[in-house]
Chains A and B, each alone.
Chain A
Amino acid sequence: MLGRSLTRTFNLLSVFVNRKTIYYLFLLPAIIPFVTFVLIPFLYTFSLTFRTGDLLKLGQFVGLNNYIRIIHDDTFRKAVVNTVQFVILIVPAELLLSLLLSLILSQRLRFGGTTQAILFIPWIIPITIIAVIWRFLLYPQQGIINYLIGLVGIPPQTWLASESLALPTLVVIEMWRGIGFFVMVWYAAIIEIPRDIYEYAILEGANTFQKLVRITLPLIRPTFIFLVIISIIWAFQLFDSVFVLTHGGPNKATFSAVYYIYRYTFHVGDVGLASTMSFALLGMVLLLTLIIRRLTKEQLQS
């Protein structure tokens, strides 16, 4: 029904427009939400960085005042440091571990497909469910993780409630959540490499290590760059696990950049500072992406 009436509408419209302009019509359903919910909000956020006010009433134009205020804001500094720490901890660990797993899986082991599917499950469930699971496992008194480390003689920890362990624990949880995706992408790239290259290398007397370093790794370089960039972007956006697991605590040990934006918008009621933070975040992400692009390009040329 809907399909037919759509066809009719488009056919009617195409009487008035020629074949070239009809493509603008085809773009329209994509462009309208994009302009309303991405482009306009983006420009609006930029304008908010020059204003004060809260969710209910926006204040006046204050020039660069928000940018000056935010630099002197201890919570801002803490949030940036925490976020960068999180990125530095998780990105290399996750990339390496997933590369190792996908290299193993690419030997075409039995149950390889099933294994990949299992590794992927945490990726497809809502963070609130992940939070339930991990809060239960990490339960301070009689939790299963404390039971397990107790078996090897380590005293029980408070994990997410501990100032020093909270961020590393989040890193582990986020790795648990994301590893399946990274394995899947690495694996897809490794599998694409033609087999005869390896056969030729074996004829030339190459060992496993040489095959890895001389053939596999160089050939999956584009995937490597893609995964580095995307994992950095994601890691910088750390929010939902903070929100459901720690609320930025204890003592702001897990206060992340996006959590700052959320907190200052909806609880502190300072939309100007929140917007400024979101542009600081965008700046960090863009800068890092540019640096990686530049570095990887130079390496390609040399």
Chain B
Amino acid sequence: MVKRTTAKMKLFLSRIISYLIIVIAVICIGMPFSTVISTSFKATTSVFAYPPEWIPKNPTIANYIVIITEYLFPRWFLNTVIVVLVVVIAKVFIDSLAGFAFAKGQFKGKETIFNILLLTMMIPFAVTMIPTFFIIREFRLVNTYGGIILPMLAKPIGIFMMRQYIVNVPSELLDAARVDGCSEFGIYTRIVLPITSPGLLALATFIFVDEWCNFLWPLIVIQSEKMKVLSLAIPSMQGTWMTNWGQVSAAAVLTIVPVVVLFAIMHKYFVAGIRMGALKG
């Protein structure tokens, strides 16, 4: 009897400690966000009030209005959406088609090509960055959407993710379709794509996040204000001497919200995608 109560006490105690650690972790991660959200609703005078105003006393949306009307923010937002959408759609198509070929195709050099792709995953982007810039400049694509987008189509990671997914599609199903006279591309569009749609969604989310956050390459290839994407835009809003923290925070919130909303919706697929990529990769 006594033993059982101490065991219960122990369990209770360990639960309390667990929750405590989790709460601390969530506060550490969340506090910076709550600060930036609260700052975005503050007038300049109360940004650095002492002690800090955790919740703005006189909230204002003036910062948001300035951001949207006085900067190129809407344009930057549009640029980002265009670039991200094109990359996501193109990559999902490219990676699933190649993943299908690697998973179900039998052709000469399959292993070799696959291994070359796998090996080059180790190459940091910094290594290929300089010639990539030369090539883009040669194509006269500096400062264009094409210039931002094209090199991003080369990352092979999605191919591995898709191959993992498509390997599990039963081959009998594909053979049955072949007997019925379906072409290989028809098999891809009518069987492989519908069956692997959770995998496609995971991949799409993965690429969306990756591209929304992409910074190094746009920094190199985009030089005009008009063509900037959101990840580049914020630094150009910060003055050398004076930063209007309220406005910058408002821009930050506007940049974060779309991707967080998307993540909240796609969370399940995304986790499944990471699980798939991490456990088998």
Neighbour of B150 across the interface among A21, A33, A137, CB < 8 A: A33
Interface residues contributed by chain A, number (CB under 8 Å): 100
Q: Is the CB of B235 within 8 A of A128?
A: yes
Knowing A115-B26, A136-B249, say if A38 contacts B232 (CB, 8 Å).
no
Chain A proximity of B134: nearest CB distance (Å): 7
Report whether over half of chain A's contact residues are helix, strand or loop; otherwise say mixed. Answer: helix
Tell me which of B22, B39, B156, B231 has the highest count of chain A C-beta atoms within 10 A of its own C-beta: B22
Q: Is the CB of A188 within 8 A of B98?
A: no
0/1 per residue, B103-135, Cβ < 8 Å to A? 001110010010001001011111111111111
Knowing A14-B185, A26-B188, A128-B231, say if A142 contacts B50 (CB, 8 Å).
yes
Neighbour of A118 across the interface among B29, B117, B185, CB < 8 A: B29
Knowing A37-B135, A44-B131, say if A226 contacts B278 (CB, 8 Å).
yes
Which segment, of A67-75, A98-106, A162-170, faces chain B?
Answer: A98-106
Chain A proximity of B123: nearest CB distance (Å): 6
- Bound-state CA distance A19–B212 (Å) is 38
Whether A275 sits at the interface, judged by CB under 8 Å, is yes
Knowing A11-B185, A41-B135, A133-B36, say if A258 contacts B95 (CB, 8 Å).
no
A-side contacts of B233, CB under 8 Å: 128
Identify the closest chain B residue to A184 (Cβ).
B274
Knowing A37-B154, A128-B235, say if A117 contacts B263 (CB, 8 Å).
yes
Q: Is the CB of A132 within 8 A of B252?
A: yes
Q: Is the CB of B281 within 8 A of A226?
A: yes
Q: Is the CB of B135 within 8 A of A7?
A: no
Q: Is the CB of A128 within 8 A of B234?
A: yes
Knowing A11-B183, A42-B127, A117-B263, say if A3 contacts B234 (CB, 8 Å).
no
Whether A255 sits at the interface, judged by CB under 8 Å, is no
A-side contacts of B123, CB under 8 Å: 38, 42, 282
The range of chain B's interface size is: 35 or more
Q: Is the CB of A185 within 8 A of B120?
A: no
Q: Is the CB of A133 within 8 A of B51?
A: no
Identify the closest chain A residue to B39 (Cβ).
A136
- Bound-state CA distance A121–B264 (Å) is 10
- Bound-state CA distance A261–B124 (Å) is 12
Whether B204 sits at the interface, judged by CB under 8 Å, is no
> For residues 126 through 177 of chain B, which have their beta carbon under 8 Å from a beta carbon of chain A?
126-135, 150-151, 153-154, 156, 159
Which segment, of A84-92, A152-160, A210-218, A236-244, faces chain B?
Answer: A236-244
Identify the closest chain A residue to B281 (Cβ).
A226
Report whether over half of chain B's contact residues are helix, strand or loop; otherwise say mixed. Answer: helix
> For residues 18 through 36 of chain B, which have their beta carbon under 8 Å from a beta carbon of chain A?
18-19, 21-22, 25-26, 28-30, 32-33, 35-36
- Bound-state CA distance A55–B93 (Å) is 34
Q: Name 9 interchain pairs, CB-CB below 8 A, sorted by A.
A: A11-B183, A23-B101, A24-B107, A26-B101, A31-B98, A109-B22, A185-B274, A237-B124, A258-B124
- Residues on B facing A (Cβ under 8 Å): 14-15, 18-19, 21-22, 25-26, 28-30, 32-33, 35-36, 39, 48, 50-52, 93-95, 97-98, 100-102, 105-107, 110, 113, 117, 120, 122-135, 150-151, 153-154, 156, 159, 178, 183-186, 188-189, 209, 212-216, 219-220, 230-235, 238, 243, 245, 248-249, 252, 255-256, 259-260, 263-264, 267, 271, 274-275, 278-279, 281
Q: Given contacts A23-B106, A42-B131, A176-B32, could you give 19 more A-B pairs where the C-beta distance is less than 8 Å?
A: A27-B113, A33-B150, A37-B135, A40-B131, A42-B123, A107-B15, A115-B25, A118-B26, A132-B234, A133-B36, A137-B32, A144-B35, A189-B278, A222-B279, A223-B279, A226-B281, A239-B126, A279-B127, A285-B124
